[in-house]
Amino acid sequence: MKNNILKITFITALILSFTSCSSNDDSDSPVVIDPPVVVDTDPLTTTNAATYLVDANATKETVALFYNLKKLAKTKTAIGQQDAFNSFYLDAGGDSDIKKNTGFDPAILGSDFMFITDKNNDGTASNWFYQQEQKIASDAKAAYAKGAINTFCWHLREPNKEESFYAADMTSEQKTTAFRSILPGGVNNEWYKKKLDKVASVVLNLKGTNGELIPIIFRPFHEFDGSWFWWGASFSTSDEYKKAYQFTVDYLKNTKGVHNILYAFSPDNSYTTQADYFSRYPGDNYVDILGMDNYGDFNNQGQTGADRANSKLKILSDYAKTKVKIAALTETGFRVTSSTPAITDWFSTLLYSSLTKNDIQISYVMFWNNNKDGYYVPNGSVSNTNDFKTFATKSKSALVNSLPKMYELPK
Protein backbone atom coordinates (compact mmCIF):
# COMPACT_ATOMS: atom_id res chain seq x y z
CA MET A 1 0.00 0.00 0.00
CA LYS A 2 2.81 2.37 0.97
CA ASN A 3 4.59 1.69 -2.33
CA ASN A 4 1.36 2.41 -4.25
CA ILE A 5 0.96 5.72 -2.44
CA LEU A 6 4.53 6.67 -3.30
CA LYS A 7 3.94 5.81 -6.96
CA ILE A 8 0.78 7.93 -7.09
CA THR A 9 2.54 10.82 -5.39
CA PHE A 10 5.44 10.60 -7.84
CA ILE A 11 3.15 10.52 -10.89
CA THR A 12 1.10 13.42 -9.56
CA ALA A 13 4.22 15.48 -8.99
CA LEU A 14 5.46 14.67 -12.47
CA ILE A 15 2.18 15.85 -14.01
CA LEU A 16 2.23 19.06 -11.97
CA SER A 17 5.84 19.65 -12.96
CA PHE A 18 4.98 19.19 -16.62
CA THR A 19 2.01 21.50 -16.33
CA SER A 20 3.94 24.25 -14.59
CA CYS A 21 6.84 24.04 -17.05
CA SER A 22 4.66 24.08 -20.12
CA SER A 23 2.40 26.86 -18.85
CA ASN A 24 5.05 29.38 -19.84
CA ASP A 25 5.02 28.21 -23.44
CA ASP A 26 1.53 28.23 -24.90
CA SER A 27 2.71 26.85 -28.19
CA ASP A 28 3.45 23.50 -26.54
CA SER A 29 0.30 23.34 -24.44
CA PRO A 30 -2.35 20.81 -25.32
CA VAL A 31 -5.49 22.73 -26.38
CA VAL A 32 -8.72 21.35 -25.06
CA ILE A 33 -11.82 22.59 -26.96
CA ASP A 34 -15.22 21.96 -25.49
CA PRO A 35 -17.90 21.03 -28.02
CA PRO A 36 -19.89 24.14 -29.01
CA VAL A 37 -23.18 24.60 -27.26
CA VAL A 38 -25.91 24.69 -29.91
CA VAL A 39 -28.95 26.65 -28.81
CA ASP A 40 -32.09 26.10 -30.89
CA THR A 41 -33.67 29.53 -31.07
CA ASP A 42 -36.49 28.43 -33.37
CA PRO A 43 -39.72 29.25 -31.51
CA LEU A 44 -41.76 26.82 -33.62
CA THR A 45 -42.41 23.49 -31.91
CA THR A 46 -44.79 20.62 -32.45
CA THR A 47 -46.79 21.70 -29.44
CA ASN A 48 -47.23 25.37 -30.39
CA ALA A 49 -47.35 25.11 -34.20
CA ALA A 50 -51.11 25.69 -34.40
CA THR A 51 -50.75 29.09 -32.73
CA TYR A 52 -48.77 30.45 -35.68
CA LEU A 53 -51.36 29.73 -38.37
CA VAL A 54 -53.86 32.23 -39.73
CA ASP A 55 -56.63 29.77 -38.91
CA ALA A 56 -56.80 28.95 -35.20
CA ASN A 57 -59.08 26.02 -36.08
CA ALA A 58 -56.90 24.56 -38.83
CA THR A 59 -57.05 20.78 -39.21
CA LYS A 60 -54.20 18.79 -37.74
CA GLU A 61 -52.96 17.92 -41.25
CA THR A 62 -52.89 21.62 -42.15
CA VAL A 63 -50.96 22.44 -38.98
CA ALA A 64 -48.51 19.65 -39.80
CA LEU A 65 -48.07 20.98 -43.34
CA PHE A 66 -47.22 24.43 -41.99
CA TYR A 67 -44.76 22.99 -39.45
CA ASN A 68 -43.04 20.70 -41.94
CA LEU A 69 -42.78 23.33 -44.67
CA LYS A 70 -41.26 25.76 -42.21
CA LYS A 71 -38.74 23.21 -40.90
CA LEU A 72 -37.96 21.94 -44.42
CA ALA A 73 -36.59 25.34 -45.40
CA LYS A 74 -33.70 24.94 -42.96
CA THR A 75 -32.18 22.27 -45.20
CA LYS A 76 -34.12 22.01 -48.48
CA THR A 77 -36.39 23.75 -50.98
CA ALA A 78 -39.29 21.72 -52.39
CA ILE A 79 -39.63 21.80 -56.18
CA GLY A 80 -43.05 22.08 -57.81
CA GLN A 81 -44.80 22.81 -61.09
CA GLN A 82 -48.17 24.14 -62.19
CA ASP A 83 -50.44 21.51 -63.79
CA ALA A 84 -47.61 18.99 -63.60
CA PHE A 85 -49.88 15.98 -64.13
CA ASN A 86 -51.68 17.44 -67.16
CA SER A 87 -49.42 19.88 -69.00
CA PHE A 88 -46.59 18.27 -70.93
CA TYR A 89 -44.03 19.52 -73.40
CA LEU A 90 -44.76 18.29 -76.94
CA ASP A 91 -48.17 17.04 -75.74
CA ALA A 92 -46.75 13.78 -74.43
CA GLY A 93 -48.95 12.30 -71.72
CA GLY A 94 -48.16 9.93 -68.91
CA ASP A 95 -45.94 10.96 -66.03
CA SER A 96 -45.10 14.56 -65.19
CA ASP A 97 -42.22 15.98 -67.19
CA ILE A 98 -40.30 16.27 -63.92
CA LYS A 99 -40.70 12.54 -63.35
CA LYS A 100 -39.73 11.79 -66.95
CA ASN A 101 -36.51 13.66 -66.28
CA THR A 102 -35.62 12.64 -62.74
CA GLY A 103 -37.62 9.52 -61.99
CA PHE A 104 -39.57 11.31 -59.24
CA ASP A 105 -42.69 13.45 -59.14
CA PRO A 106 -42.57 17.10 -58.09
CA ALA A 107 -42.89 17.89 -54.39
CA ILE A 108 -45.66 20.40 -55.12
CA LEU A 109 -48.54 20.41 -57.59
CA GLY A 110 -49.90 23.78 -58.71
CA SER A 111 -53.57 24.13 -59.69
CA ASP A 112 -55.98 26.97 -60.49
CA PHE A 113 -59.56 27.76 -59.42
CA MET A 114 -60.09 29.59 -62.74
CA PHE A 115 -62.15 26.97 -64.61
CA ILE A 116 -63.75 25.76 -61.40
CA THR A 117 -65.34 29.17 -60.76
CA ASP A 118 -66.02 29.96 -64.43
CA LYS A 119 -69.55 31.20 -65.18
CA ASN A 120 -69.93 28.37 -67.71
CA ASN A 121 -69.36 25.61 -65.13
CA ASP A 122 -72.87 24.24 -64.72
CA GLY A 123 -71.93 21.16 -62.71
CA THR A 124 -73.09 18.63 -65.27
CA ALA A 125 -71.01 15.67 -66.37
CA SER A 126 -70.91 16.74 -70.03
CA ASN A 127 -69.78 20.30 -69.25
CA TRP A 128 -66.14 20.97 -70.17
CA PHE A 129 -65.54 23.32 -67.23
CA TYR A 130 -67.01 20.83 -64.77
CA GLN A 131 -64.78 18.17 -66.29
CA GLN A 132 -61.80 20.40 -65.55
CA GLU A 133 -63.04 20.77 -61.98
CA GLN A 134 -63.16 17.00 -61.63
CA LYS A 135 -59.72 16.58 -63.16
CA ILE A 136 -58.17 19.22 -60.90
CA ALA A 137 -59.74 17.67 -57.80
CA SER A 138 -58.55 14.23 -58.87
CA ASP A 139 -55.01 15.49 -59.41
CA ALA A 140 -54.97 17.21 -56.02
CA LYS A 141 -56.02 13.98 -54.34
CA ALA A 142 -53.36 12.06 -56.27
CA ALA A 143 -50.66 14.54 -55.23
CA TYR A 144 -51.72 14.24 -51.59
CA ALA A 145 -51.66 10.45 -51.80
CA LYS A 146 -48.08 10.64 -53.09
CA GLY A 147 -47.11 12.80 -50.11
CA ALA A 148 -46.83 15.96 -52.21
CA ILE A 149 -48.22 19.45 -51.50
CA ASN A 150 -51.08 21.23 -53.27
CA THR A 151 -51.10 24.93 -54.03
CA PHE A 152 -53.87 26.84 -55.83
CA CYS A 153 -53.78 30.22 -57.55
CA TRP A 154 -56.89 31.92 -58.95
CA HIS A 155 -57.09 33.68 -62.30
CA LEU A 156 -60.52 35.02 -61.45
CA ARG A 157 -62.42 36.56 -64.36
CA GLU A 158 -63.46 40.17 -63.87
CA PRO A 159 -67.00 40.67 -62.49
CA ASN A 160 -68.57 42.53 -65.43
CA LYS A 161 -68.57 40.09 -68.35
CA GLU A 162 -66.52 37.35 -66.71
CA GLU A 163 -64.55 36.82 -69.90
CA SER A 164 -60.99 37.72 -68.91
CA PHE A 165 -58.68 38.27 -65.99
CA TYR A 166 -56.46 40.63 -67.98
CA ALA A 167 -56.95 44.36 -67.48
CA ALA A 168 -56.10 44.94 -71.14
CA ASP A 169 -59.40 43.32 -72.11
CA MET A 170 -61.48 45.76 -70.02
CA THR A 171 -62.73 49.28 -70.62
CA SER A 172 -61.20 52.17 -68.71
CA GLU A 173 -64.29 52.43 -66.51
CA GLN A 174 -64.31 48.71 -65.78
CA LYS A 175 -60.66 48.81 -64.79
CA THR A 176 -61.20 51.61 -62.29
CA THR A 177 -64.31 50.11 -60.68
CA ALA A 178 -64.07 46.30 -60.89
CA PHE A 179 -61.85 45.57 -57.90
CA ARG A 180 -63.52 47.87 -55.39
CA SER A 181 -66.91 46.55 -56.53
CA ILE A 182 -66.24 43.15 -54.92
CA LEU A 183 -65.59 44.65 -51.47
CA PRO A 184 -68.31 44.54 -48.79
CA GLY A 185 -70.95 47.07 -49.78
CA GLY A 186 -69.86 46.95 -53.41
CA VAL A 187 -72.24 46.10 -56.23
CA ASN A 188 -70.40 42.86 -56.96
CA ASN A 189 -69.77 41.67 -53.41
CA GLU A 190 -72.55 39.08 -53.62
CA TRP A 191 -71.12 37.91 -56.95
CA TYR A 192 -67.72 37.52 -55.30
CA LYS A 193 -69.18 35.63 -52.36
CA LYS A 194 -70.77 33.15 -54.77
CA LYS A 195 -67.35 32.57 -56.32
CA LEU A 196 -65.90 31.99 -52.86
CA ASP A 197 -68.78 29.62 -52.11
CA LYS A 198 -67.64 27.52 -55.05
CA VAL A 199 -64.03 27.58 -53.87
CA ALA A 200 -65.15 26.53 -50.41
CA SER A 201 -67.27 23.70 -51.78
CA VAL A 202 -64.37 22.27 -53.76
CA VAL A 203 -61.82 22.60 -50.96
CA LEU A 204 -64.18 21.00 -48.44
CA ASN A 205 -64.59 18.02 -50.75
CA LEU A 206 -60.87 17.38 -51.17
CA LYS A 207 -60.47 14.38 -48.91
CA GLY A 208 -57.96 11.60 -48.39
CA THR A 209 -58.68 7.92 -48.18
CA ASN A 210 -59.54 8.17 -44.49
CA GLY A 211 -61.95 11.02 -45.02
CA GLU A 212 -59.52 13.67 -43.79
CA LEU A 213 -59.53 17.08 -45.46
CA ILE A 214 -56.57 17.63 -47.77
CA PRO A 215 -54.66 20.83 -46.92
CA ILE A 216 -53.99 23.31 -49.70
CA ILE A 217 -52.04 26.54 -50.11
CA PHE A 218 -54.20 29.33 -51.58
CA ARG A 219 -52.71 32.55 -52.98
CA PRO A 220 -55.46 34.92 -54.05
CA PHE A 221 -54.86 38.11 -56.09
CA HIS A 222 -51.25 37.24 -56.93
CA GLU A 223 -48.84 39.60 -58.75
CA PHE A 224 -50.94 42.50 -57.53
CA ASP A 225 -48.07 44.98 -57.81
CA GLY A 226 -48.27 44.75 -61.60
CA SER A 227 -51.13 46.06 -63.71
CA TRP A 228 -51.81 43.14 -66.02
CA PHE A 229 -54.56 41.67 -63.82
CA TRP A 230 -57.76 43.56 -62.93
CA TRP A 231 -56.76 43.42 -59.26
CA GLY A 232 -53.43 45.12 -60.02
CA ALA A 233 -52.00 48.10 -58.18
CA SER A 234 -53.18 50.61 -60.81
CA PHE A 235 -56.81 49.67 -60.18
CA SER A 236 -57.02 49.68 -56.39
CA THR A 237 -55.64 51.50 -53.40
CA SER A 238 -53.45 49.76 -50.86
CA ASP A 239 -56.31 49.81 -48.37
CA GLU A 240 -58.74 48.31 -50.88
CA TYR A 241 -56.36 45.49 -51.67
CA LYS A 242 -55.85 44.71 -48.00
CA LYS A 243 -59.61 44.69 -47.39
CA ALA A 244 -60.25 42.35 -50.33
CA TYR A 245 -57.60 39.91 -49.13
CA GLN A 246 -58.85 40.07 -45.55
CA PHE A 247 -62.45 39.59 -46.65
CA THR A 248 -61.43 36.53 -48.69
CA VAL A 249 -59.71 34.88 -45.73
CA ASP A 250 -62.41 35.78 -43.22
CA TYR A 251 -65.22 34.58 -45.49
CA LEU A 252 -63.63 31.21 -46.22
CA LYS A 253 -62.46 30.65 -42.65
CA ASN A 254 -65.29 32.10 -40.59
CA THR A 255 -68.37 32.11 -42.82
CA LYS A 256 -67.78 28.93 -44.81
CA GLY A 257 -65.89 27.01 -42.13
CA VAL A 258 -62.96 26.04 -44.35
CA HIS A 259 -60.05 25.03 -42.12
CA ASN A 260 -57.68 23.24 -44.49
CA ILE A 261 -56.04 26.27 -46.15
CA LEU A 262 -52.70 28.02 -45.72
CA TYR A 263 -52.84 31.53 -47.16
CA ALA A 264 -50.08 32.90 -49.41
CA PHE A 265 -49.30 36.53 -50.21
CA SER A 266 -47.33 36.92 -53.43
CA PRO A 267 -46.50 40.08 -55.32
CA ASP A 268 -44.39 40.08 -58.45
CA ASN A 269 -40.74 41.11 -58.23
CA SER A 270 -41.11 44.90 -58.45
CA TYR A 271 -40.06 45.56 -54.85
CA THR A 272 -36.51 46.19 -53.65
CA THR A 273 -37.11 47.02 -49.98
CA GLN A 274 -39.09 45.52 -47.13
CA ALA A 275 -41.34 48.61 -47.13
CA ASP A 276 -42.15 48.06 -50.81
CA TYR A 277 -42.91 44.39 -50.26
CA PHE A 278 -45.29 45.07 -47.38
CA SER A 279 -47.02 48.09 -48.89
CA ARG A 280 -50.19 46.05 -49.50
CA TYR A 281 -49.67 43.40 -46.85
CA PRO A 282 -52.97 42.48 -45.15
CA GLY A 283 -51.24 41.65 -41.87
CA ASP A 284 -49.68 38.72 -40.06
CA ASN A 285 -53.10 37.49 -38.99
CA TYR A 286 -54.01 36.88 -42.63
CA VAL A 287 -50.84 35.45 -44.15
CA ASP A 288 -49.12 32.10 -43.58
CA ILE A 289 -46.77 32.20 -46.57
CA LEU A 290 -44.70 35.11 -47.85
CA GLY A 291 -44.22 34.58 -51.57
CA MET A 292 -42.79 36.23 -54.62
CA ASP A 293 -43.43 35.56 -58.30
CA ASN A 294 -40.29 36.33 -60.28
CA TYR A 295 -39.61 35.71 -63.94
CA GLY A 296 -37.96 39.01 -64.84
CA ASP A 297 -34.79 38.67 -62.79
CA PHE A 298 -34.13 35.28 -64.39
CA ASN A 299 -34.80 36.34 -67.99
CA ASN A 300 -31.30 36.46 -69.50
CA GLN A 301 -30.02 38.50 -66.56
CA GLY A 302 -27.25 36.06 -65.67
CA GLN A 303 -25.75 35.93 -62.19
CA THR A 304 -26.59 39.60 -61.67
CA GLY A 305 -30.28 38.81 -62.01
CA ALA A 306 -29.99 35.72 -59.83
CA ASP A 307 -28.32 37.77 -57.11
CA ARG A 308 -31.02 40.41 -57.42
CA ALA A 309 -33.66 37.71 -56.94
CA ASN A 310 -31.74 36.38 -53.96
CA SER A 311 -31.72 39.78 -52.27
CA LYS A 312 -35.49 40.02 -52.72
CA LEU A 313 -36.00 36.52 -51.36
CA LYS A 314 -33.84 37.44 -48.38
CA ILE A 315 -36.37 40.13 -47.44
CA LEU A 316 -39.04 37.41 -47.28
CA SER A 317 -36.81 34.91 -45.55
CA ASP A 318 -35.65 37.31 -42.84
CA TYR A 319 -39.20 38.36 -42.03
CA ALA A 320 -40.38 34.74 -42.09
CA LYS A 321 -37.68 33.79 -39.59
CA THR A 322 -38.70 36.59 -37.25
CA LYS A 323 -42.46 36.13 -37.50
CA VAL A 324 -42.58 32.34 -37.96
CA LYS A 325 -43.93 32.45 -41.49
CA ILE A 326 -43.04 30.40 -44.55
CA ALA A 327 -41.07 32.00 -47.40
CA ALA A 328 -41.43 30.76 -50.98
CA LEU A 329 -40.65 31.53 -54.60
CA THR A 330 -44.29 31.06 -55.60
CA GLU A 331 -43.76 31.30 -59.38
CA THR A 332 -40.71 31.43 -61.58
CA GLY A 333 -39.17 29.98 -64.70
CA PHE A 334 -37.55 30.62 -68.05
CA ARG A 335 -39.67 29.46 -70.97
CA VAL A 336 -37.82 27.58 -73.68
CA THR A 337 -39.39 27.43 -77.14
CA SER A 338 -38.29 26.64 -80.68
CA SER A 339 -37.09 30.25 -80.99
CA THR A 340 -35.90 30.82 -77.39
CA PRO A 341 -33.04 28.50 -76.44
CA ALA A 342 -32.31 27.33 -72.93
CA ILE A 343 -29.86 29.32 -70.80
CA THR A 344 -26.76 27.37 -69.83
CA ASP A 345 -26.86 26.21 -66.20
CA TRP A 346 -30.04 28.21 -65.55
CA PHE A 347 -31.33 25.70 -63.00
CA SER A 348 -28.20 24.30 -61.39
CA THR A 349 -26.28 27.55 -61.03
CA LEU A 350 -28.42 30.67 -61.43
CA LEU A 351 -31.68 29.58 -59.83
CA TYR A 352 -30.01 27.39 -57.22
CA SER A 353 -27.77 30.22 -56.08
CA SER A 354 -30.73 32.57 -55.74
CA LEU A 355 -32.48 30.03 -53.51
CA THR A 356 -29.53 29.26 -51.27
CA LYS A 357 -27.13 32.22 -50.95
CA ASN A 358 -26.98 34.54 -47.94
CA ASP A 359 -28.44 32.08 -45.45
CA ILE A 360 -31.99 32.35 -46.77
CA GLN A 361 -34.64 29.74 -46.05
CA ILE A 362 -37.05 29.16 -48.92
CA SER A 363 -39.57 26.35 -48.43
CA TYR A 364 -40.53 25.85 -52.06
CA VAL A 365 -40.15 27.01 -55.65
CA MET A 366 -42.88 26.68 -58.31
CA PHE A 367 -42.40 26.57 -62.08
CA TRP A 368 -45.19 27.44 -64.49
CA ASN A 369 -46.75 24.81 -66.73
CA ASN A 370 -45.40 23.19 -69.86
CA ASN A 371 -47.30 22.88 -73.14
CA LYS A 372 -46.67 21.61 -76.63
CA ASP A 373 -45.14 24.93 -77.72
CA GLY A 374 -42.68 25.46 -74.90
CA TYR A 375 -41.60 24.43 -71.44
CA TYR A 376 -40.40 25.75 -68.10
CA VAL A 377 -39.26 22.36 -66.84
CA PRO A 378 -37.38 20.11 -69.27
CA ASN A 379 -38.37 16.52 -69.77
CA GLY A 380 -35.98 13.77 -70.74
CA SER A 381 -35.47 14.75 -74.37
CA VAL A 382 -34.28 18.38 -74.52
CA SER A 383 -30.99 20.23 -74.24
CA ASN A 384 -31.19 21.33 -70.60
CA THR A 385 -32.40 18.00 -69.22
CA ASN A 386 -29.16 17.37 -67.34
CA ASP A 387 -29.10 20.93 -65.98
CA PHE A 388 -32.49 20.37 -64.33
CA LYS A 389 -31.51 16.91 -63.11
CA THR A 390 -28.38 18.39 -61.51
CA PHE A 391 -30.50 21.09 -59.86
CA ALA A 392 -33.07 18.60 -58.60
CA THR A 393 -30.41 16.35 -57.03
CA LYS A 394 -28.43 19.07 -55.27
CA SER A 395 -28.27 18.86 -51.49
CA LYS A 396 -30.80 21.63 -50.89
CA SER A 397 -33.34 20.53 -53.51
CA ALA A 398 -36.29 18.25 -52.82
CA LEU A 399 -38.66 16.34 -55.07
CA VAL A 400 -41.44 14.26 -53.55
CA ASN A 401 -39.05 11.44 -52.63
CA SER A 402 -37.06 13.78 -50.36
CA LEU A 403 -40.00 15.13 -48.39
CA PRO A 404 -40.74 14.09 -44.84
CA LYS A 405 -44.29 13.04 -43.98
CA MET A 406 -45.74 16.49 -44.61
CA TYR A 407 -49.12 15.85 -43.01
CA GLU A 408 -47.89 14.45 -39.70
CA LEU A 409 -46.14 16.28 -36.89
CA PRO A 410 -42.91 14.55 -35.88
CA LYS A 411 -43.22 12.41 -32.75
Report the catalytic residues: 223, 331
* Whole-number Å distance between alpha carbons of 136 and 153: 12
Of 277, 259, 260, the C-alpha closest to 268 is 277
From residue 133, alpha-carbon distances to 82, 122, 200, 243, 402 in Å are 15, 11, 13, 28, 29
CB 375 within 8 A of CB 335: yes
E strand or H helix at 389: helix 385-392
Q: Which amino acid is at 208?
A: G
Categorise residue 361: left if φ over 0, alpha if ψ from -120 to 50, beta otherwise: beta
CB 313 within 8 A of CB 290: no
* Whole-number Å distance between alpha carbons of 70 and 172: 42
Pairing of strands 374-375, 336-337: antiparallel
283: Cβ contacts below 8 Å, ≥ 6 apart: 242, 246
